[in-house]
Chains A and B, each alone.
Chain A
Amino acid sequence: QVQLQESGPGLVKPSETLSLTCVVSGYSISSGYYWGWIRQPPGKGLEWIGSIYHSGSTYHNPSLKSRVTISVDTSKNQFSLKLSSVTAADTAMYYCARVEYSTSLAPWGQGTLVTVSS
């Protein structure tokens, strides 16, 4: 079955760029589906960051759009997130997921915690 695994630095300094990768196994990204990033600050709720198709077409949350870059590498079967000019408010568990049934998110990766601190 399809599985997703996030990876990247667990600690990022304020004003720098957060970079994460989601590797997909059990399914070829080139075959279809949108893929997305979601985050969850400690003890809080969920926030959708953005989604990407294998063609590179993207959708972003307007609240983050100016800082977010989402890209896809079909040769490595992975997609990536870059979030620039981070602050402590960007400290969160970051999840990747597939957009399932066109309108929901499943499955999810296990998540990776990113802390923004000097």
Chain B
Amino acid sequence: EIVLTQSPGTLSLSPGERATLSCRASQSVSSGYLAWYQQKPGQAPRLLIYSASSRATGIPDRFSGSGSGTDFTLTITRLEPEDFAVYYCQQYGSSPLFSFGQGTKLEIK
């Protein structure tokens, strides 16, 4: 079973700063099938990035994803107040077919 480990657990930054979130897999992610989601309190997750680096429809270009193999990164340039939330990474392809990291909380400093 593939395990996704996200770091840091909590990231404290100010609006306007740059955020770098990490997701490390215990084994190589199939064909780079890694996605990132944003979840705000009381809301369902929202897809931001798929296939490691492709932005989903309607996602601002300040969100970008990179990485391959076992190491992936979500970068948010110029943080906006609405970006403070919990972020999850998700892999596709290894058993179980979909699995998620434990999340990184991005909080206002």
Interface residues, chain A, with chain B CB atoms under 8 Å away = 36, 38, 45-48, 51, 59, 61-63, 95, 97, 100-111
Tell whether, in the assembled complex, residue A46 and residue B33 are in contact, meaning their CB atoms are under 8 Å apart: no
Q: Which of A48, A95, A106 meets B56, CB within 8 Å?
A: A106
Verify A108–B44 contact, CB threshold 8 A. yes
Which residues of B approach A to under 8 Å, CB–CB?
33, 35, 37, 43-47, 50-51, 54, 56, 88, 90, 92-93, 95-103
Q: Residues of B contacting A110 with CB < 8 Å?
A: 43-44
**B102 surroundings in chain A (CB, below 8 A):** 45
Contact (Cβ within 8 A) B45 A46: yes
| Given A45-B100, A45-B101, A45-B102, A101-B44 contact (CB < 8 Å) | no
Is the beta-carbon distance between A61 and B96 smaller than 8 angstroms?
yes
Query: What's the least CB distance linking A2 to chain B, in Å?
Result: 11
Neighbour of A46 across the interface among B54, B95, B100, CB < 8 A: B100
Q: Please name the residue on chain A nearest to B4 by beta carbon.
A: A45
| Contact present for B90 and A62 (CB under 8 Å) | no
Inter-chain contacts of B44 with A (CB < 8 A)? 95, 97, 108-111
Which chain B residues lie closer than 8 Å to A62 at the CB level? 95-96
User: Which of B92, B99, B101, B103 is close to A104, meaning CB atoms less than 8 Å apart?
Assistant: B92
Q: Is the CB of B50 within 8 A of A101?
A: yes
Distance of A43 from chain B, by nearest CB (Å): 11
| Contact partner, B47, options A38, A48, A106, A111, Cβ 8 Å | A106
